[in-house]
Structure 1
Amino acid sequence: MLTRSHDMPFGAQIAEQGVRFRLWAPGCDRVALCVTAGQDERAFSMDSCGGGWFELITSHASAGTRYRFEVNGGLRVPDPASRFNPDDVHGASEVIDPADFDWRDAAWRGRPWEEAVVYELHVGTFSPEGTFTGVLERLDYLVELGVTAIELMPVADFPGARNWGYDGVLPYAPDSRYGRPDDLKALIRAAQARGLMVLLDVVYNHFGPEGNYLHVYAKEFFTERHHTPWGAAINFDGPGSRDVREFFIHNALYWLHEYHLDGLRLDAVHAIVDGSEPHILTELAERVHASIGGKRRVHLILENDANAARYLGRGSSAAPYVTPYLAPRAAPHVTQYAAQWNDDIHHALHVLTTGETDGYYTDYADEPIRHLGRCLAEGFAYQGEVSAYRGHAKRGETSAHLPPQAFVSFLQCHDQVGNRAFGERIAHIAPAAAVRAAAAVYLLAPGIPMLFMGEEFAAKSPFQFFCDFSGELRAAVTQGRRREFARFARFADPAMQAAIPDPNEMQTFLASKLDWSLLKDAQAEWLAHYRNLLKLRRDVIVPRLRGMSGRSARFEVFAPESLRVQWQLGDGSTLRLLANFSGERIHADIPAGQTVFASSTEAGQGMLDPWSVVWTLET
């Protein structure tokens, strides 16, 4: 039996004498452990260990035992490092023995990052069941699609029955609505058995607004010296920050080791404020890579609106990697983070396909085709230039020295769909030809592509913002959501604001579920398009990516909304793109080389149809 567990310095851990419980509660003089046995609950005084730590090892608990901590003379709270909270975030935690799960996957070592085709999904809306098992039952579909990695939106325990996941308050506990810990492990095991990597979205920049009791007994978790959109920042650089840093570093280690995940995507790290050295992002990455060693491949990904290229650096590879296709060749290895979500390429594609230029799209409205070309050739569109949307502040760092695989490209994601008032997908707001052209660009480019669930068949269901808060918070979130759009001319009318779906209503959540019964007729044509592109990527592009370096590409805007890009791939071959994002036919010299993909019916005659894309490869 192959088992995996992470030795945590806090929470509940199976020990020879029973269970060891540890809690950091610097705001308390006394802490008690309350253990539930049937209808009875017994309280045991915990020993003070200094530095705000309390500990108890007891034989009165075992796997399956429900427990809480009593703090401040009577308040009973769940374990902040709970491995499972079966009765939601306000209920008791449950002791979990990770040794009870048999992994049976000793051969899995992960996959090289350049092979990644990521599929982002929300567990609760991906399947009718809305569970880990519901995802598992559709893994074969994803393999057939051409996906090589699934990225789960956050699963950490959140308040209520439904949530995007970014309001989690128990970052070690998979939400019980999706299943038990073993159900998540079974999903990961089944995915890896099919050659699929599993990535998890984690949130280290804030806790959700309901169910977080740390303010009561561990105020040192937060600091008023820094502020974020959610209030006081997480304390990564003030007094007591060492224990706070360990809480989040161990969370990353826990998911990667105990759940054998292939990587983590860190949400909105631009909202993490840390003035100390090393920065928490640097220390976390160093600890992760040191713990993994060379045993398997693990990939860390960032979302960072600041476009801070410093975290994406590469070093010289100690040994070449032997691909299943070609001779060995050396490649720069990741020193901290493998890649960052590239919002710039999404925004440029969105403006080109939809014509929308409000909000943050303002920064891409002047020359969207130039922004797209720079993203494809150099990574970020904003590499220190002034951003009008951000109050004319400079944004970004130089990124041309990085390989294309340091950037995750996408046409849709949970944010860019769900942050619209009605959650419309791009296929509902842009011409089909434009969307298909955009897909042909980002799915075949050397960067790492990411699909959002249902994109591949132009799902008709929206993906709306939903949650399930209680009390006054429920009404505040509903009203806040509608006020958020009041600055847009379309929603200046109060009646239009009232039409925005209520995030707390069950129907908002249900409307966001994928309708798999529609996967036919016109939707089947979309699916065939995506499958074809991903097959071409697998067979033609991916085998040549290993060994790519930065400054390997150049681009040219040769006509309004028309673009040429050229890359030197890792094997020395040349990949070329010709794209027309206008509604007019244009004259264009077709790139040299063998045609990999062409959507233009007259590409061979030197003409490019509207919304056309041509890819060629010269070896």
Structure 2
Amino acid sequence: MQVLGERTGLVLSSSSGGGTRGTSKCWTAKRANNKKGVTKCSHVVPSTAGHVRSSVFRPRAPRFPTRGKPSATADIPYDTFYDVGAGAAVTSESVDNASEWPLGATHSAEQGGVYIRAWIPHGKRVFVEVKKEGETEKFDRVPLHQEGKEPYWGGLLKGIISIGSKYRLVIEPTWNDCYEQEGYEVTRRDPYAREADFDSTWCYVPAPPSAFPWATPPLPPNQALVPWHKLMLYELHVGSFSPEGTFEGATRRLEHIKALGFNCVQLMPITEFGGLWGYNPRQLLTVHSPWGSADDVRRLVDRCHELGLAVLVDVVLNHGASKLNNLWMWDGYGPKNNGGIYFETGKDTPWGRQFSFDKPEVQAYLLEACRMWLREYNVDGLRWDSVENMPRELVKDLNKTLQAEFPAKLNVAELTPETSEAITSAKFNSCWRHTPHFDALKLHKKWTDDWLGLIRHMVDIPEDYPNGYNGVVSILGSHDQVGCRKEGAEDSEGHLHRYFQERLGTKDNWHARAQTRMWWAVNAIGRSLPMMFQGSEFLQRDWWNCEANNRNVHMQWPPIPLEAYAGGEVEGLREEDVWSLHMARCVRAINALRANSEALTSEELRVVHEDFDGRVMGVLRGGEGGASLVVINASENQWEEQNYQVKVRGAPYAASAATLVFNSQAEEFGGWEGSATAGTVQVADGRLHLSIPKWSVLVYELER
């Protein structure tokens, strides 16, 4: 294929072997010293404005670098192969303390410019290209300086660059496995860039994080916005949560989460990714620009904090994207398709190559990918995806460092299979517990003699977890269980992925709705931190996905005003929307009860009543400072004449009475009037005599 060199007017040869104009793909590069081997490079870096990469902007030099060997262009004058025009006099300054500058682009008012620094082990010569302000195609090219014999390059740029300027790195490698596609040089993004064009190699110079006008100033590192044991999490996917599918759109919907009584937003990944869900990171410090800017993220976090909502961000540190990976063969080096400096010692996974965890430079990159959210975006913690695919000692070291710097920030692990080693060995503060979700489904598929043990496992936490907040539980399912990529079909293991009530009989089924309310209440009264995935509060139908061409699997917003969550009549609703309102009211009520109850967030939990045949369990929560009795009826059995006796022996004091404060079968939630014994009930002989509805959770506050 031939491409017209638009800056020079020359016709240049391209070895891409076809493809669309404006996209650079390095697929094959056979090494001279490995005739049988083929290095396959999947690094894809589209250019801007429909142009091919900068490597084809210049005429060929008289000599060619040898693939897989050091470049032979070192003695060719710079102007021989690059027409810098008016930018020929532009240069960068070296500084004495170069190694003390952070990696990436750093604006310095004191130095009067921007210092750019990068780790480039296979760099022969390195340049920065800076887009000229107000120009579509023109840019300046500036050489960077190597820090002695170290694999770092940097330079202070003045006059041509400022906050918001577009820049990118151009590397002439000493070892170039991308030569056949890209020529003498490879044009790359800055791995430490905070913002970048999604479809090009251009990055943006960031403003200092301190420049953002926070409405809620960051708290001291040892102070949490919400105490860990009080957290109630709402998990959302920014791209499908609002109709706009943006950070700004999500920000406008935060009052909904607050109105439901949650106090923490768990964001699925928001760093730049390929695919749909966010778990294929293209690079780890760049905000996913199709959803908005870095400041849009800060505004989302700021608004959360104004509403009293903590923010956790999902980070994916175990692998890079299998496609459109901006770090693949980053500085040109990548023999035998090993991925280059960021991946060469990593293992392949079904999702992409693992990072080179053994390299100090990669370890520092992973640490900065965590530290950035906590320091620059003021988030309240991190959820680490799939940590079983990372070396335990590395995870432990990263956690120790982060906890020393940010002791009040919560670090949550997803570890499969779940185990307390995430807490006791890997030093996380909490760990996702998936099993209660599957235990609940198991009880609906086939009742088991171990049902008491299964429910106990849902409301309590295993003994080897030191604290209740060490677990995060989503009985109704997280994105992993609710999300479906197969249009509702079974996955490779024969599992269906659906919203919870769809697993029990669909939203149209009264029993499915009642059982879903019951299980969320079980979740909310337990020792672990409760979490709900977006849409569950409305009993959303089918499953979740974020396909752009199928809005039906995004968050579905019924026409319900926020104030209706608290009660009152709403006219003109369809029956389906009434069911959604019932669930939302139930969620709000039990969440509010947990938030305001010392008993329900204490470490005290004792099972005081077990009725194997009746399938009723009584759970005592709290201690001397106050206690609540939770009655769980996980069955079709029903007692309507206040003729069921629940034991309350084992209370921290001799309870004399109990007052009903929550009933999942209340009329306003979709149950019926008089379904449970309301008001205050006297304790007689250590027992309460109650009416108990089918498929219900009742909460009674105990009185001395």
* Other-structure match for 1:476: none
CA drift at 1:174 = 1.4
1:65 matched to 2:169: no
For 1:341-352, list aligned pairs within 5 A: 341-352=432-443
The residue that corresponds to 1:326 in the other structure is none
- Once residues 286 and 554 of structure 2 are traced to their aligned partners in structure 1, the CA distance between those partners, rounded to angstroms, is 23
Aligned ranges 1:200-239 → 2 under 5 Å: 200-217=313-330, 219-224=340-345, 226-236=347-357, 238=358
**Farther off after superposition, 301-310 or 605-614:** 605-614
| In the alignment, structure 1 residue 48 sits paired with structure 2 residue 146 | yes
Matches within 5 A, 1:367-382: 367=450, 369-379=452-462
* 1:139 aligned partner: 254
Partner amino acid, structure 2, of 1:337? F
Distance 1:209-1:565 versus aligned 2 partners, 3 A rule: farther
CA contact (8 A) 1:222 1:232 kept: yes
Q: Is the 8 A contact 2:663 2:676 kept in 1?
A: no
Q: Which residue number corresponds to residue 167 of structure 1?
A: 280
The Cα offsets for residues 83-134 of structure 1, whole Å up to 9 and x where unpaired, read as 101x205431111113442113237451211121111111111111111111
Corresponding residue of 1:577: 630
Instruction: For 1:333-372, list aligned pairs within 5 A.
Output: 336-353=427-444, 355=445, 367=450, 369-372=452-455
Which residue does the alignment assign to 2:104?
11
- What TM-score, normalized to structure 1? 0.75
Q: Could you say which structure has the higher helix fraction?
A: 1
Shift of 1:254: 0.9
Counterparts of 1:202 and 1:231, CA distance in 2: 15
Residue 191 of structure 1 aligns to a residue whose secondary structure is: helix
User: Relative contact order (alpha carbons < 8 A, sep ≥ 6): 1 or 2 greater?
Assistant: 1
Deviation digits for residues 207-244 of structure 1 (CA, Å, limit 9, x no counterpart): 112222323136232254645333542222x3xx1111
For 2:287 and 2:435, how far apart are their aligned partners in 1? 32
Counterpart secondary structure, 2:473 = strand
Q: Work out whether residues 619 and 631 of structure 2, in 8 Å CA contact, stay in contact via their aligned partners in 1.
A: no
Change (3 A) 1:270 1:264: same
- AA partner of residue 192 (structure 1): H
Q: Deviations over 1:510-533 (max 9, x none)?
A: 222222235442211111111111
- CA distance in 2 between counterparts of 1:226 and 1:515 reads 39
Report what 2:64 is aligned to: none
- Would the alpha carbon gap of residues 148 and 425 (structure 1) be closer, same or farther in structure 2, given more than 3 Å must change? same
Counterpart of 1:74 in structure 2 is: 185
Cα pair distance change 1:525/1:563, threshold 3 Å: same
Pairing partner for 1:88 from 198, 217, 220: 198
% of aligned pairs identical? 24
Structure 1 match to 2:409: 298
CA contact (8 A) 2:458 2:526 kept: no
Q: What is the one-letter code of the residue matched to 2:201?
A: G
Contact kept in structure 1, 2:187 and 2:201, CA below 8 Å: no
Match of 1:185 in 2: 298
| Distance verdict in 2 for CA 1:232–1:516, change over 3 Å | closer
Distance 2:451 2:485 in 1: 20
Q: What residue number does 1:261 align with?
A: 379
Q: How far did residue 583 of structure 1 move?
A: 3.1
Q: Aligned residue for 1:394?
A: none
Distance 1:22 1:536 in 2: 52
Q: What one-letter code is carried by the residue in structure 1 that aligns with 2:472?
A: V
Is this contact kept in 2: 1:373–1:555, CA < 8 A? no
Q: Number of residues paired by the alignment?
A: 509
CA distance in 1, matches of 2:607, 2:262: 28
Q: Give the match for residue 478 of structure 1.
A: none
Please say which structure displays the higher CA radius of gyration.
2
Corresponding residue of 1:416:
481
Task: Report matched runs for 1:154-553 at 5 Å.
Answer: 154-159=269-274, 163-217=276-330, 219-224=340-345, 226-236=347-357, 238=358, 241-274=359-392, 279-292=393-406, 297-313=408-424, 336-353=427-444, 355=445, 367=450, 369-379=452-462, 399-410=463-474, 411-419=476-484, 421=486, 422=488, 424-430=498-504, 431-460=512-541, 462-464=543-545, 466=547, 506-508=548-550, 510-519=551-560, 520-540=577-597, 542=598, 545=601, 548=603, 553=606
Q: Is the 8 A contact 1:113 1:338 kept in 2?
A: no
Provide the residue aligned with 2:646 in structure 1. Answer: 590
Partner amino acid, structure 1, of 2:525: L
Instruction: Structure 2 unaligned segments of length 5 or more: list them.
Output: 1-99, 174-183, 332-339, 489-496, 505-511, 561-576, 649-654, 666-674, 678-687
The 3-state SS of whatever aligns with 2:596 is: helix
Deviations 1:187-210 (A, max 9, x none): 111110111111111111111122
Q: How far apart are residue 140 of structure 1 and its match?
A: 1.9
